[in-house]
Structure 1
Amino acid sequence: MKTVKQYLASDFEAVTGLIKEHLDPNEVLVNEKSYELFIAGGKKIRPTFTLLVGKLGEDDKFPDVLRASASLELIHMSSLVHDDIIDNSELRRGKSTVYYEHGYLQAVNTGNYLLSTSLSLVSTIEHHGLHESFSKAIREIIDGELFQLDHQFNAHQTMDDYYRKIYRKTALLIELSIKMGAYASNVDQKTLAVLLDYGYHIGMSFQIVDDCLDFIGNEETLGKPKFSDLENGHYTLPVLILRDEDPDFRRQLESFDGGKAQLDGLIDALLHSDAIDQAIAVSNSHIRKALEAIEGIEEPIRAYLQEIAEKLSNRLN
């Protein structure tokens, strides 16, 4: 059996062509930086879901699925550019961020350009539910970025705050990717509901793993410096778990203002605790629920959704 990458190879060629067509560099810097972001790569996980789900629907609607897939990759890229502004990040996928290299205004314009290009790609798809879901998701993603900004260095945020944050940051876009593929190809509502359950759990697991990799991954894989979430005051699941278990760590976190000595102390405490293992267990629970949700999905799509889930869960190994 082919891998999911092999199965979708020709479809991704078409998606890449659409994106290149809409981001073709010219003399305007924002176009050039947007194109470079796309070429730099990434997991392309969101358009993968759109393409797979689209294959469960009507064949003659697949050109719309391709446009929806390209649009999802662009909106994801836009969110990364804006994240780099919030986090004051120097590197993204091993290269200088637009924000670091060209400043605040250029980064904002690049993110907005990617977002507007994404909107242009889906504007010709005739499905009210698709456009309604798309616009609502964009609003929620922006709300999530503002929510994340408001909670920087907030040692008293709740676990619910964290889960709301990662839902908007990651799971929401995966759910949207599934909806876009389903709506563009007229997948039935019962199948869509099952797939959305899968997408929610995959998205939550994906972000929790990313949050753990910030402590135990390598920078080449991460595409950004290690410990950057903690350094920037974004308290992820391992941090919140240890905060609730260790009064000394909680006091350190409450006084943390981004200083190097304080940061080193927090990292040392985390790496010598089992908080990361506990967070990984939560991620694995989401993977199990995702796999249970798709038991009735037809082959080979079910097998490819399983493959994705297993690959995501193995990123820590």
Structure 2
Amino acid sequence: MIKHKEFLASDFEEVGNLIKESLNPNGIIVNDSSYNLFQSGGKKIRPTFTLLVGRLGDQSKHDDVIRAGASLELIHMASLVHDDIVDDSKLRRGQGTVYYEHGYLQAVNTGNYLLSTSLELVSTIEHKQLHEAFSIAMKDIVSGELFQFDHQFNADQTLDDYYQKIYRKTALLIELSIKMGAYAAQVPDGELSALLKYGYHIGMSFQIIDDCLDFTGDEKSLGKPKFSDLENGHYTLPVLLLRDSDHEFKEKLKAFHDDRTILDSLIQDLLHSDSIEKSIQISTEHIEEAKASISEIDEPVRTYLLQIAEKLANRLN
């Protein structure tokens, strides 16, 4: 059976053309930076879910599904630009960030331009529930970014804080991608409920794996420096699990807020612990829940969703 990217190849071409038309690269920094970020790669996982779910519904609504998919990718790109400002990041997808290349104001404007372009695309889709879901999600995503900022270098944050943070950062946007495809193509509510459960667990697994790769991946594939989450005070699941099982590490983590010279010591503690392995196990449990939730979804979409789940599960191998 062909892979999901081949199955959706023509749809992705339409999404790309629409994004280029909407961003209008024309020599202006904001426009060109926005389009360059789109061209630089990325997994395009969010529009993938929108496009796949759209195949389950009314095919006469295809253009709305394309607009929904493009809008989701634009939102994701905006969140990356804003994250790079918060994290003072120099690299994104192996290239200089908008923030590093053009400064704070241009980065803020680029992120806002991407968001406003996404809103413009969504406004052309006539569906009340879609607009409601989109607006609620936007509010939650922004509050999630503020929540993440508030918890930088907070060694006392709970595991529930972490799960809430990654839900808003990743799982919520995947759920929205599914909702947008379903609403645009008028997919029945029963199927949507199962798909949203899949989206939640895929999103949680996806972010946990990303957080593990920050310690185990290579910088070329990550597209950013290793250990950047820890260095920037974003304490992810491996860090929090070790904190809760090792008192000495917990004290070091508390001291890190005021003494950044102990970064290497924290990294070595993590790499010689089993906290990354435990985090991977939690991610695997989410993957299994995701796969189980779509047992009644029609083919070939079900098989492609399973393919994505397996591919995500194997990213650490």
- Give 2:177's aligned residue: 177
What CA deviation, in whole Å up to 9, does each residue of 1:62-120 have, x standing for no partner? 11000000000000000000000010100000001011111111100000000000011
Deviates more, 1:253-262 or 1:270-279: 253-262
Give percent identity, aligned residues only: 69
Could you tell me how far 1:122 is from its partner in structure 2?
Answer: 1.1
Once residues 252 and 302 of structure 2 are traced to their aligned partners in structure 1, the CA distance between those partners, rounded to angstroms, is 46
Alignment CA distance shift 1:104-1:198 (3 Å): same
Any residues of structure 2 matched to 1:104-115 within 5 Å, and which? Answer: 104-115=104-115
Could you tell me how far 1:258 is from its partner in structure 2?
Answer: 6.9
- Give 2:251's aligned residue: 251
Using structure 2 for the length normalisation, give the TM-score: 0.99
Could you tell me how far 1:254 is from its partner in structure 2?
Answer: 0.4
Any residues of structure 2 matched to 1:211-290 within 5 Å, and which? Answer: 211-257=211-257, 259-290=259-290
What CA deviation, in whole Å up to 9, does each residue of 1:183-242 have, x standing for no partner? 000001010000000000000000000000000001111110000000000000000000
Task: Show structure 1 runs of 4+ deviating over 6 A.
Answer: none
The answer as to whether partners of 1:231 and 1:258 remain within 8 angstroms in 2 is: no
Alignment CA distance shift 1:25-1:205 (3 Å): same
SS in 1 for 2:264: helix
- Give 2:199's aligned residue: 199
Using structure 1 for the length normalisation, give the TM-score: 0.99
Once residues 258 and 69 of structure 2 are traced to their aligned partners in structure 1, the CA distance between those partners, rounded to angstroms, is 38
Could you tell me how far 1:259 is from its partner in structure 2?
Answer: 4.8
The answer as to whether partners of 1:233 and 1:258 remain within 8 angstroms in 2 is: no
State the AA in 2 paired with 1:116: S
State the AA in 2 paired with 1:128: K
Once residues 226 and 110 of structure 1 are traced to their aligned partners in structure 2, the CA distance between those partners, rounded to angstroms, is 25
The answer as to whether partners of 1:11 and 1:66 remain within 8 angstroms in 2 is: yes
Once residues 254 and 246 of structure 2 are traced to their aligned partners in structure 1, the CA distance between those partners, rounded to angstroms, is 12
- Give 2:311's aligned residue: 311
State the AA in 2 paired with 1:304: Y
SS in 2 for 1:316: coil
Aligned residues: 317
Any residues of structure 2 matched to 1:1-317 within 5 Å, and which? Answer: 1-257=1-257, 259-317=259-317
Deviates more, 1:26-35 or 1:125-134: 26-35
Once residues 119 and 258 of structure 1 are traced to their aligned partners in structure 2, the CA distance between those partners, rounded to angstroms, is 41
Could you tell me how far 1:27 is from its partner in structure 2?
Answer: 3.4
The answer as to whether partners of 1:232 and 1:258 remain within 8 angstroms in 2 is: no
Q: Structure 1 unaligned segments of length 5 or more: list them.
A: none
Could you tell me how far 1:24 is from its partner in structure 2?
Answer: 1.9
CA RMSD of aligned residues (A): 0.8
